[in-house]
Amino acid sequence: MKVSKQQLHQLIQNKIQSAGLSQQHASIVADVLVHADARGVHSHGAVRVEYYAERISKGGTNNNPHFTFEQTGPCSGVFDGDNGAGHVAAQISMDHAIEIAKKNGVAVVGARRIGHSGALSWFVQRAAHAGMVGISVCQSDPMVVPYGGAEVYYGTNPIAFSVPAEGNEVMTFDMATTVQAWGKVLDARSRNVPIPDTWAVDSNGKNTTDPFAVSALLPIAGPKGYGLMMMVDILSGVLLGLPFGKHVSSMYHDLTAGRELGQLHIVINPGFFTSESAFRKNISQVMQELNNIKPAPGVDSVLYPGQGSHIRELESEKNGIDIVDEVYEYLISDELYRKSYDHKSPFAS
């Protein structure tokens, strides 16, 4: 099923509003989810709406949050999201970081007590489009076995990075510290397709291709991914005085309670370190030189990081966005949610 970006945005916004969020907050949530679907990251797009709607309607997402921001130093600040929609809290806190970096060169802003915020690429691109370097990290549900372990401890703990090039171009990189994000497994389930055997393990700790048999995810590159997810958890959890590691709340444990999640934004103003125009020009040169590299056998061309997602985003403007039929049918229905995620295992169907 293909729908236009505008149609998908309205459908998502309608459903999130029906669940109880204000029009303004529902629109921001829809912005982030449509952005993900347009870039082909369906794991963080419309497939998540039913879960969000249930949590909002049950009070686990505060539909009238009291946001506060305290600038704790010339280049630092803490935003309290009052367990409101994570997409909204993450966007507002990133905007605070951008404003600080414009004036003082760098900014480190922590967003605490927020809900799930979706694709981090949305937030770092706000910094890049403002002429800044944007970095964002956030903690997530414990569902990954540490390297050498047989029990989950850390979450998928993503990292995102974006920089401005010449004109309106940006280069963006967004990754989970697992081989794949949990949402990719959800997407495979919704499409009823197998997953690669390098993504996850079953209840016996054995690699599996069955998305419905997943019991834990695997860190990317073994001990390296394990170290990265530890770093992310400390920066977005311990540093902000929040639950960490296996103590981070599950997405599905209790949909009436706030998630209490953390996210950290780092924004750098290139003009405080070099010429802004030279920085942009050199980033454009990097992108072009990577594209000009001789491709390996069987490869059409070398893409710079994030370029594949950008190409899909441009194509979606012309051709619409692919949405699973089941998800589309839910979005156009009058039902708030068809199945309950409440008190389910994070690996439940």
What local confidence, expressed as pLDDT, does residue 62 receive?
Answer: 98
pLDDT tens string 100-120:
999 999 999 999 999 999 999
Residue with the bigger pLDDT between 203 and 329: it is: 329
Question: Quick one: which of 257, 237, 21 has its CA closest to 112?
Answer: 237
Q: Is the pLDDT of residue 349 over 70?
A: no
- Exposed, middle or buried, 86 (CB in 10 Å: 0-12/13-18/19+)? buried
pLDDT tens string 209-220:
999 999 899 999
Distance in angstroms (rounded) separating the CA atoms of residues 138 and 261: 8
What local confidence, expressed as pLDDT, does residue 187 receive?
Answer: 83
Q: Provide, rounded to the nearest whole percent, the portion of the chain with pLDDT above 70.
A: 99
* Catalytic residue check, 116: yes
What local confidence, expressed as pLDDT, does residue 348 receive?
Answer: 61
Q: Is the pLDDT of residue 291 over 90?
A: yes
Find out whether 267 and 261 touch, Cβ atoms under 8 Å.
no
Q: Is the pLDDT of residue 235 over 70?
A: yes
Q: Rounded to 5, what percent of the chain is helix, strand, coil?
A: 40, 15, 40
Domain boundaries, the chain: 2-274+311-332
Distance in angstroms (rounded) separating the CA atoms of residues 341 and 41: 21
What local confidence, expressed as pLDDT, does residue 98 receive?
Answer: 98
pLDDT tier at 149, thresholds 50, 70, 90: confident
Question: Quick one: which of 184, 176, 232, 251 has its CA closest to 211?
Answer: 184
* DSSP per-residue codes, 92-143: HHHHHHHHHHHHHSEEEEEEEEE-----THHHHHHHHHTTSEEEEEE---S-
What local confidence, expressed as pLDDT, does residue 148 receive?
Answer: 83
What local confidence, expressed as pLDDT, does residue 345 receive?
Answer: 75
**Lowest pLDDT segment from 149-158, 221-230, 232-241, 293-302:** 149-158
Q: Is the pLDDT of residue 223 over 90?
A: yes
Angle (CA) 198-201-205 rounded to 5° is 130
pLDDT tier at 242, thresholds 50, 70, 90: very high
Q: Fold for domain 2-274+311-332?
A: Ribosomal Protein S8; Chain: A, domain 1 (3.30.1370)
Find out whether 263 and 97 touch, Cβ atoms under 8 Å.
no
Q: Which residue in 25, 35, 42, 116 is the catalytic one?
A: 116
Question: Quick one: which of 87, 100, 85 has its CA closest to 130?
Answer: 100
pLDDT tens string 16-53:
999 999 999 999 999 999 999 999 999 899 999 999 99
What local confidence, expressed as pLDDT, does residue 202 receive?
Answer: 87
**Token representation of residue 262:** 């953390």
Q: Provide, rounded to the nearest whole percent, the portion of the chain with pLDDT above 90.
A: 87
What local confidence, expressed as pLDDT, does residue 156 receive?
Answer: 93
